[in-house]
Amino acid sequence: MANWISLKLCPECGTLWCFVPYEPYASFSFLVKWPYDEKCFGSIAEIGDARVLHEWHGAFLRENWRSLVTDEIEAIDRWRQCTYMSHNPIDKDLAEYPNKYLSSASEIVRYAENTFNKSL
């Protein structure tokens, strides 16, 4: 685990999932499918104390949470209420607290390509 973010392997299908517990009290966790390999995850985790991965994970949640099934959306809405609709990656005010490394989840490819190029 790097700064409260980790990679988990599904034993049944082999999918890699990026796991982050969120407040309050790290009680609500989100899994986001990691599109690359473990080595890439580890290399990107070294940048800014895993900040790039946290920003990617938060951006992915912001961009995609409404596409989940109704029960999951309702659970997320209840959790958002516990965070005062601001202290979470979905409701984060990016104007007041801008990300340092990326503004959208798709930008992770830039870091992944850099990792792949270094390994060649």
pLDDT, tens digit (0-9, with 9 covering 90-100), for 62-82: 999 999 999 999 999 999 999
Report the pLDDT averaged over residues 3-12. Answer: 96
Domain-located, residue 14: no
Number of domains in the chain: 1
- Indicate whether 58 pLDDT > 80: yes
Domain-located, residue 13: no
Domain-located, residue 20: no
Give the pLDDT confidence score for residue 52 in this predicted structure.
Answer: 96
CA atoms within 13 A on the CB side of 14: 2
Angle at 84 between CA 1 and CA 95, to 5 degrees: 80
Domain-located, residue 109: yes
Closest by CA to 17, choosing from 30, 7, 29, 4, is: 7
Residue 79 falls in which region: left (phi positive, over 0), alpha (psi -120 to 50) or beta: alpha
Which residue pairs from 13-18 have beta carbons closer than 8 angstroms and sit at least 24 positions apart in sequence? Answer: 16/41, 18/53, 18/56, 18/57
8-state DSSP, 2 = B
Q: Does this model's pTM top 0.75?
A: yes
Confidence class for position 114, pLDDT limits 50, 70, 90: confident
Residue 112 belongs to what domain range? 36-119
Domain-located, residue 93: yes
Domain-located, residue 9: no
Domain-located, residue 23: no
- Indicate whether 120 pLDDT > 60: no
Domain-located, residue 16: no
Give the pLDDT confidence score for residue 2 in this predicted structure.
Answer: 61
For the chain, what is the total number of helices (H) and then of strands (E)?
4, 3
